[in-house]
Amino acid sequence: MYFAKIMACAAAVLIAVPAAAEELRQGGKLLLTNGVTTIEGASGGGISTWALIAGNETTDGIGGSAHVSIVVLPDYDWQSHGAAIGLFDRVELSYARQNFNTRDIGAALGIGQDYVLRQDVFGAKVRLFGDAVYGSPWAPQVAVGVQHKRNLDGWVARAVGAKETEGTDFYVAATKLSLSTSILVGATARLTKANQNGLLGFGGDKGEDYSVQFEGTLGYQLSRRFVIGGEYRTKPDNLGVAREDDWFDLYAAYAITRNLTATAAYADLGSIATVPKQRGAFLSLQASF
């Protein structure tokens, strides 16, 4: 009898543990309210970071996402892949590897045909207060975050005049989706000294200190699965040999399923490494749970 009770208790535990784990993995967010993946790996839009937390989890669960993104420009190709973890819709941990192919411009600049500039971005974000979807129709969700960027081609960054090959960005973001109007609004203040997002190092002859830059987004939900909008991001201009312009995009994101989202955008990235008018297509696929 005693042995039978022990076996019954063990069976109950074996059943309960997977059930509890499954409960933690369950995603309860509305479609698209975990955002897509930014160029730096955090949850947000394509070029602006939002206060949303990665993954489909709610406050009772653990979620995450993985992404692959490309930007096809007239003279360059950019690619990113990475993953993020969302903990109880409160904390986000992310990683992204950025690869920037210089194509013919690499040969013209003396660094080699199709030379690829590489960078690792490690991020952390914490939601402070508010809810992007529920609660007050006016009070946004607010989060703070940090992104440490490690340039893997330091000799190129130094050659163009960068002061450092590693740097850390700090930001505060506010995001709100009004379900009654289907309008998404977001604003982010970023403290940074990154040149071309860090791919050309940090700081330069025109400025080596941190500066505050702005990221903004405005979107409209055509349906639960489909949102369109635009983003704008200001940039520091630290290098005398390579003017840096602000970025702008027009995007469309579609939730193919609860776990798969595709994003396409027209992106105007201005002048990059002495070459102006870098405008092209941004494409991204994100899997989330």
Three-state secondary structure call for residue 288: strand
Q: Which residues contact 171 (CB under 8 A, 6 or more apart)?
A: 49, 144, 145, 146, 147, 188, 189, 190, 191, 215
Strand partners, 81: 68, 97
Question: Which two tokens mark 278?
Answer: 């870098």
DSSP letters for 123-187: EEEEEEE--SSSS-SSPPEEEEEEEEEEES-HHHHHHTT-SBSEEEEEEEEEEEEETTTTEEEEE
Percent of the chain with pLDDT over 90: 80
What share of the chain in percent tops pLDDT 70? 91
User: Binning pLDDT at 50, 70 and 90, where does residue 277 land?
Assistant: very high
Q: Does residue 12 register a pLDDT over 90? A: no
26: pLDDT confidence band, cut at 50, 70 and 90? low
pLDDT at 28 over 90: no
Which range of residues forms the domain containing residue 126?
2-288
- What pLDDT is attached to residue 176? 97
Q: Give the dihedral sign, CA 164/168/172/173.
A: positive
Domain tally for the chain? 1
The single residue listed with the structure tokens 């893997």 is 152
Q: Is the pLDDT of residue 24 over 80?
A: no
CA angle 91, 94, 98 (to 5 degrees): 160
| Comparison of pLDDT for 102 and 13, the residue scoring more | 102
pLDDT of residue 273: 87
- pTM for the model stands at 0.88
Higher pLDDT, 84 or 241: 84
Residues in the chain, overall count: 289
Amino acid 72: pLDDT:
97
Grade residue 110 by pLDDT with cuts at 50, 70 and 90. Answer: confident
Give the 3-state secondary structure percentages of the chain, helix then strand then coil, rounded to 5: 15, 50, 35
Q: How confident is the model at residue 27 (pLDDT cuts 50, 70, 90)?
A: low
Quick one: which H or E segment has residue 64? strand 62-72
The segment with the largest mean pLDDT, out of 17-21, 105-109, 128-132, is 128-132
Residue 153 and residue 160: Cα distance in Å, rounded? Answer: 12
CATH of the domain at 13: 2.40.160.40
> Tell me, what's the pLDDT at 279?
97
- pLDDT, tens digit, for every residue of 230-249? 999 999 999 999 899 999 99
Find residue 264's DSSP bridge partners.
Answer: 252, 283
pLDDT over threshold 80, residue 205: yes
Mean pLDDT of the region 250-279: 95
Dist. CA 41–CA 229, nearest whole Å: 20
Coil, strand or helix: which one is 85? strand
User: What integer pLDDT is reported at residue 20 of this predicted model?
Assistant: 41
Which residues partner with 69 through β-bridges? 80, 284
pLDDT at 25 over 60: no
